[in-house]
Structure 1
Amino acid sequence: MVNPIALYYPHIHVRDDTWLKYAALYWPRMGRLRPRDYPLLDSVVSARLHAAGWLLDIEPPQWAWPQVGQPFLELINDHAQALRDRFGVDRIDTWGVPAAEAGFGYAGGVRSAGGRDDAAARGEVTWLNPRFGFVHASKIGPEVVAAAVDAGLAVTGPGRGGTWVGMHPELAHVYTCALTERVATEDHLQPVTDQEQPHTALSGWTLDRLVHLLVDRPVAHDEGPRPHPDLLDSFVFMAFATVVPANLDTVPVEKIIEIRSTFGAELDAFRTYAAEQVQEFAAIEDVRDLAVRREYLRLEVDRTVTTRLNGLRERLRSVGLESVYALANVKSVALPPLAALAAETAGVPAALTAPAALAACVVSAPVQWRRQRRAAIEESPVSYLFRLEREVSPTKLIDRLRKVWPA
């Protein structure tokens, strides 16, 4: 099974660095739709992952214009007045929360790798009203832009990296989702996002759906069912939460890159395992209430991940190694009979503290212990999570033991 490359949306710049680290720990690569001449103002984390070849730039494909644009052209031609009543640019003062605050604005919340976040650094110009949602003109066919401007639904103007199209944030978001869905489908990519979205890039963006959402005035978002995050994404992130510390934002991005490089085989095995598990309980995708869906998912993570991790730790204990968390908090250790025998064989004085005895036993551990340990890790489909647990939650004691008892 080919592991899919992720496709980030709805922006060019990733807004959440911690989310980006999680994504880099799982996805083989992640692309973003970046216009050719668009100058980057990446965060330090994004810039480092981009330089490492993990974060990819995908130029918005021109073949997508007619496929995505046709239903929008039909929508504008058939329902121009209804659209103007809700989204006309002459009604911009009634649109409510500025798009930048809602996460749909032009360069909102982006800080450059150098740390500057002022208007001059971003290259913004005065016409960019913060209530607009923006889409770079290279992502929209010229026919759609012209029709939207003629209908009073959009304006255009210069900005960083070329021409931008400003419109109601919901129009901008729906178009971006439709474009992402089409590119992802044709290029076998997996849409992913760090934003809480009113719509998703996997919603089947047909003309009928556009009419339903943008013309028929559907039930308000807070009164109807909200789109759920992708099931695989949710499963993976919840599984990671069992081993990755809450302060992942403090883990250097270089460490994330090192983990990917060192444990690539285990990562591939875990991706395959995660995809298989999600297929088995795909029925919960249809659960309407997000809180209920989350509980079902938590039960599946406990069954398919936590149980296996505990089994792996127990198997490792049986060959003389305490679990990572037990070692991280060790104050006194009652050596099991096997370890006690090894300590005696190694000539460790009985007066030594238990942790010292344990460390001494590790130094002289029989070769077969190390082989059994490697085999246990390699055979487990969740061994990658075990590696993460060790690598992103290190302690001095664990580091010492790791040096004398390599995996």
Structure 2
Amino acid sequence: MQRPALYYPYIHIRDERWLKTAALYWPSIYRLVPNGYFRSDGRTSAAFCDADILRTVDPGAFTAEMDRELAQALRRHSEDLVRKFSVERALADFNGVPFGDLGPDVPALGWIHIAKFPERLLAQLCDMGLAQQGRAMLPETPHRGAVMAEWIGLHPTLAGAYMTVVARRVGQDAGYNPLTDQADLRRATVNGNVAAALRLLGVGGDTEDAKVAPRLEGDGVHTYVSLALNYVRPGNLDDVTPEAILRCRTDLEEELQAFREYVAGQQQELSTLAGIGYDRQRLEAFAEHVTQTIEVPLKKLERGLALHRMEPTRSLLLAGSFTPPAAVAAFTDNVPVVATTVGVAATVGSAWWSVSAARRSARQASPVGYLLDVRDRLTPQTVASRARALYRGYRQGS
């Protein structure tokens, strides 16, 4: 059974195109939302919440156990961390203005809700100058300019590394697969323990940091599925409504489950690929694996379906019993409309039904058939264009 996903690092999903794609595979997507937090979701997020696909989990129950390991890492690398990632350094890097001359809320900081920090760890971060508590909310927000003490500001890079560790811990404890729409964080998720976070920050490397995080069941799946869906998702994904995504999930439930089982069968290899330490080599390895297991079978299936699609109509043409219905000819390039008898129309209608059934059967038999179904449903052709293409095929004998 496919594990749910866990979105990070934000509460509100920043890229709803990414969310639409993720919903084409994962059964549900959780996000870390403190109890009582006011959410302001976009249309896609709201629709998926209503459909119980986008869900919430309170982070407080999972972060307490992170205290000891992170506190030790902070002490070991305090000098490097403060030099590179202090709040003062973040603000200075932003616009060269000294820390004391800036207000409490500037875009130079990454803001994380206090519920995602163990209490002692937060005190340590503040004492070291790595965190700032209190955020001035913008006038257009529901809080209208109030300073919110529950928000903690960190250097953006440090905030990203910290949320990678949080996502990994919650995923490990709750059985979720961490996912992000932020490209710069994806490389650290698979090995998202403290050591990996320190490597993301460019510090660490001693024996104490070298402990390997336990592998999650879903390691590598996000990269693999994202690359696979790139072959079939429409270019105008902004124009695809969340309702269309929901219909895809419902109508193609059996095909989606078959595709998930196909991906699950590759879990060991995907985990191995995800563990490659160098970004470029890891992506190249994933690309090659997707080529062999997705792209090649997709092209083979498409070729088979293209040939099979015309087989019944060829038979009709060879038998001399085919006359194009008026409804079809009307969509062609000024081809004269030929009158048809009820008997011939019934024969052609039967041929179309047989082709449709055969194509669906062929797709269901293929582990990648789901991807073609997604493509066809999310990039619908008009009735006229389908009929025109079909009739051209008849004339050309293709």
Same fold at TM > 0.5: yes
* Correspondence for 1:59: 58
Q: CA deviation at 1:176?
A: 1.1
Query: Are the equivalent residues in 1 in contact too, given 2:64–2:117 (CA < 8 A)?
Result: no
- Aligned equivalent of 1:251, options 240, 243, 246: 240
Confirm or deny that 1:149 pairs with 2:126.
yes
Distance 1:147 1:362, change over 3 A: farther
Supply the distance in 2 between the matched residues of 1:281 and 1:170 (Cα, whole angstroms). 27
Superimposed CA distance per residue, residues 207-244 of structure 1 (whole angstroms, 9 cap, x where no aligned partner): x56666668478xxxxxxxxxx9632222222222222
Aligned residue for 2:182?
195
Distance across 2 between alignment mates of 1:138 and 1:216: 26
- Name 1:179's counterpart in structure 2: 166
Listed one character per residue, the Cα deviations across residues 127-166 of structure 1 (whole Å, up to 9, x for unaligned) are 3232221110011122112222223222212556861111
Answering whether residue 75 of structure 2 is matched by residue 71 of structure 1, we say no
Determine which of 368, 372, 376 is the counterpart of 1:390: 376
Aligned counterpart, 2:91: 93
Q: Distance in 2 between matches of 1:296 and 1:202?
A: 15
Quote the Cα distance in structure 1 between the aligned partners of 2:117 and 2:11: 15
Contact 1:270 1:384 in 2 (8 A): yes
Conserved? CA contact 1:320–1:339, under 8 Å: no
Shift of 1:248: 1.3
Q: Give 2:290's aligned amino acid.
A: V
Q: Which structure 2 residues correspond to residues 41-60 of structure 1 after superposition, within 5 A?
A: 41-60=40-59
Shift of 1:375: 2.5
Q: Which amino acid aligns with 2:36?
A: D
Q: Which residue of 1 aligns with 2:155?
A: 168
1:22 paired to 2:21:
yes
- Matching of residue 128 in structure 1 with residue 105 in structure 2: yes
Q: Which amino acid aligns with 1:86?
A: K
Deviation of 1:13 (Å) = 1.0
Deviation at 1:392, TM superposition (A): 1.1
- Write out per-residue CA displacement over residues 89-108 of structure 1, whole angstroms, 9 at most, x where no aligned residue: 3444333479xxxxxxxxxx
**Aligned-partner SS, 1:258:** helix
Q: CA deviation at 1:194?
A: 0.7
Residue equivalent to 1:36: 35
Alpha carbons of structure 1 residues 362 and 396: separation in structure 2 relative to 1, 3 Å: farther
Worse-matched range after superposition: 289-298 or 208-217: 208-217
Contact preservation (8 Å) 1:244, 1:392: yes
1:205 matched to 2:204? The reply is: no
Residues 35 and 58 of structure 2 are in contact (CA less than 8 Å); yes or no, is this contact kept in structure 1? yes
Aligned partners of 2:331 and 2:384 also within 8 Å: no
User: Aligned-pair distance for 1:363?
Assistant: 1.4
Q: CA RMSD in A?
A: 3.6
> Which region of structure 1 is more displaced relative to structure 2, 82-91 or 373-382?
82-91
Q: 1:314 Cα shift?
A: 4.0
AA matched with 2:64: P
1:303-325 Cα deviation digits (max 9, x unpaired): 32233333433443454458xxx
- Name the CA shift for 1:242/1:148 in 2 (closer, same or farther; >3 Å): closer
Q: In structure 1, what is the equivalent of residue 12 of structure 2?
A: 13
Worse-superposed segment, 279-288 or 302-311? 279-288
Aligned counterparts of 1:297 and 1:398: Cα–Cα separation in 2: 40
Q: Distance in 1 between matches of 2:322 and 2:196?
A: 73
Is the Cα contact below 8 Å between 1:45 and 1:253 reproduced in 2? yes
Larger deviation, residues 182-191 vs 195-204: 195-204
For residue 10 of structure 1, report the CA deviation from its aligned partner: 0.8
Q: How many Å separate the matches in 1 of 2:325 and 2:64?
A: 79
C-alpha distance after superposition, 1:338-373 (max 9, x if no partner): 24257x44665899699799x956513287655544
Q: Distance in 1 between matches of 2:255 and 2:86?
A: 52
Separation in 2 of the partners of 1:287 and 1:88?
Answer: 30
What's the offset of the Cα at 1:184? 0.1
In 1: Cα distance, 2:109 partner to 2:352 partner: 67
SS at match of 1:129: coil
Relative contact order higher in (CA < 8 Å, ≥ 6 apart): 1
Q: 14-23 or 306-315, which moves further after superposition?
A: 306-315
- When residues 210 and 303 of structure 1 are mapped into structure 2, their CA distance, relative to the original with a 3 A threshold, is closer
Looking at structure 2, the residues matched to 187 and 398 of structure 1 have their Cα atoms a distance apart, in angstroms, of 50
Return the offset for 1:287: 5.0
Alignment partner, residue 325 of structure 1: none
The answer to whether the aligner puts 1:305 opposite 2:282 as a matched pair is no
> Cα 1:299–1:211, aligned 2, differ >3 Å: closer, same or farther?
closer
Q: How many residues in Structure 1 have an aligned counterpart in Structure 2?
A: 347
Give the conservation status (yes or no) of the 8 Å contact 2:188–2:197. no
2:264 pairs with 1:275: yes
In 1, the alpha carbon distance for the partners of 2:198 and 2:381 equals 57
Q: Which has the higher helix share?
A: 2
